[in-house]
Amino acid sequence: MRWPVLAMFAALPLQWFVVGNTPLGIGRLHQLALLAFAAAVLARYRVRAHGPVLRIAMPFIAANVCILLIWLATSIFHGEQPFGPVQQAIYLGVFVAVGTVIYRAACGTEPRLLEALRWTAAAAGASVILGLTYSMLANGVNPAQVFSQTIATANPELLQKEVFRSAFTGFGFDEETVRGNIRHEVFGAVLASMYVAAWASRLRPFTRSGPRFLFHASLVVCTLLLLVSMSRSILVAALAWPLIGFLRSAVTFRLSGRQVVLAYTAVATFMLALASGFASVLWVRFTEDTSSYEAREGLYDLAYNNIADHFFTGGVETAGESSHNFVLDTWLRTGVFGALAALVVLLVLIGLWASLIVRIGTEPAWMVPVTAAMALPVVRLLTAGGGLIPPIEWVLLGFVAGAMAYRQTLAAAPPAPEVDERSDAKAAHG
């Protein structure tokens, strides 16, 4: 499974490439990669192999099944094709498949799979750089010129429009329909790959300096890509990672060498952003570029009015008028009972995240990226257009479920001495 996993993570950011039409609508490259990966995993393993993930994620799975059944019923009631619930059911299968692979990698039942997962960030980072470079060249975009103009004018909209929207045009999306918002999930895939790579490297530390250097270089490149994305939801979610790491250090009264390096890297990055003028672009993006906030306020008002008219039966088309809220959009589509199930999903995820943060001081170091990974799904459920769990978040939640299943397995096993990060570092240099 090593190469299929890396291929999947490499394909996840390439979301602006349309492969063709499918019975469920337009098929994009990352969707077909997820479908192929899930089909391979579910065909390879028997049902009992998925047991650990299914058991630990049962409340989440049950609530999602309720949403799908209610959505299916309301679609039939309104005479609509049930493409939406079928597609989300497929993503639920992706969630289980990813969780099972992560669990088996951690347990060591898949030889060398854990080592391969350390390179997911490198695969995703290289993929998005090559993909954007090819797209820009094909569309005649000069990224260096656009960056210099963006910094000179401190206008983040210029970067979004001239780079991302221009780069995403012509590969299945025309200029009128392509949206710069595709970048949220493109760079969300990069962040997801970083979580998985960091988790795998902590479970299986590098023992040679060359691979270790390449690994850290891939994380630095991916971090720069996240900054360039200008996606507020992605950057806010990414910020939770170092905060959770430092919280663990404060609770345990232990600062690792990795965190010292991270602090110096953060300071160096900030100084570079100040020197280049890019910091002012980010400041404007978060504080002065309020157009999306104002538009979202209007979408909330529209959603409340539609809910009042379709309280029980739903049936409201959210395309183009999404509230960007998982619970409200589910209410619009399926009525109040679907919204209650969606609220359960959201509360389960928030509750899990809060519990992980509270006990982060007693968890092993490899649980830090797992805990941090919960930030992105929670943020995107409250900000993503369409009000659905996006594909990248299904992958991340599968990663969390697989890691949590492994943590539960360790908790049930006889206690063993934990090797902390300083010991890992000594072993790596020894």
pLDDT, one tens digit per residue, over 39-48 is: 999 899 999 9
Looking up tokens 């943590």, which residue turns up? 407
More confident residue, 414 or 346: 346
Evaluate if residue 218 carries a pLDDT over 70: yes
Residue 230's pLDDT is 76
Residue 183's pLDDT is 81
Domain contains 237: yes
Residue 36's pLDDT is 94
Phi–psi pair at 81, nearest 5 degrees:
-75, 135
Domain contains 430: no
Task: Report percent pLDDT > 90 for the chain.
Answer: 49
What CA–CA distance (Å, rounded) separates 202 from 213?
Answer: 15
Evaluate if residue 16 carries a pLDDT over 80: yes
Evaluate if residue 150 carries a pLDDT over 80: no
Phi–psi pair at 305, nearest 5 degrees:
-65, -40
Evaluate if residue 175 carries a pLDDT over 70: no
What CA–CA distance (Å, rounded) separates 267 from 279?
Answer: 13
Q: pLDDT (tens digit, 9 = 90+) per residue, 290-330?
A: 555 555 666 777 878 888 888 888 878 777 677 888 999 99
Flag the least confident range among 22-26, 39-43, 330-334: 22-26
Domain contains 190: yes
Q: What one-character DSSP code corresponds to residue 414?
A: P
Range of the domain at 41: 2-421
Domain contains 427: no
Domain contains 429: no
Q: pLDDT (tens digit, 9 = 90+) per residue, 345-380?
A: 999 999 999 999 999 989 999 999 999 999 999 998
Highest mean pLDDT (candidates 5-19, 158-172, 217-231, 306-320):
5-19
Cβ within 8 Å of residue 12, ≥6 positions away: 30, 33, 34, 124, 127, 189, 192, 193, 391, 392, 395
Q: Chain centroid to CA 107: how far?
A: 23
Mean pLDDT for 391-417 is 88
Q: What one-character DSSP code corresponds to residue 415?
A: P
Q: Are 39 and 31 in contact (CB under 8 A)?
A: no
Domain contains 428: no
Evaluate if residue 283 carries a pLDDT over 50: no
Evaluate if residue 122 carries a pLDDT over 90: yes
More confident residue, 290 or 99: 99
Mean pLDDT for 140-144 is 78
Q: What one-character DSSP code corresponds to residue 165?
A: I
Evaluate if residue 430 carries a pLDDT over 50: no
Residue 296's pLDDT is 64
Mean pLDDT for 67-79 is 93
More confident residue, 77 or 316: 77
What CA–CA distance (Å, rounded) separates 90 from 105?
Answer: 23
Alpha helices in 57-142 (DSSP H): 58-77, 83-107, 113-117, 120-139
Give burial (CB, 10 Å; 0-12/13-18/19+) of 36.
Answer: middle
Task: Report percent pLDDT > 70 for the chain.
Answer: 79
Residue 392's pLDDT is 94
Domain contains 152: yes
DSSP character string of 240-309:
HHHHHHHHHHHHHT---HHHHHHHHHHHHHHHHHHHHTHHHHHHHHHHT--HHHHHHHHHHHHHHHHHHH
Tokens for 201?
Answer: 């490297």
Domain contains 121: yes
What is the count of structural domains for the chain?
Answer: 1
Q: What is the mean pLDDT of the chain?
A: 83
Residue 291's pLDDT is 56
Residue 274's pLDDT is 45
Residue 425's pLDDT is 43
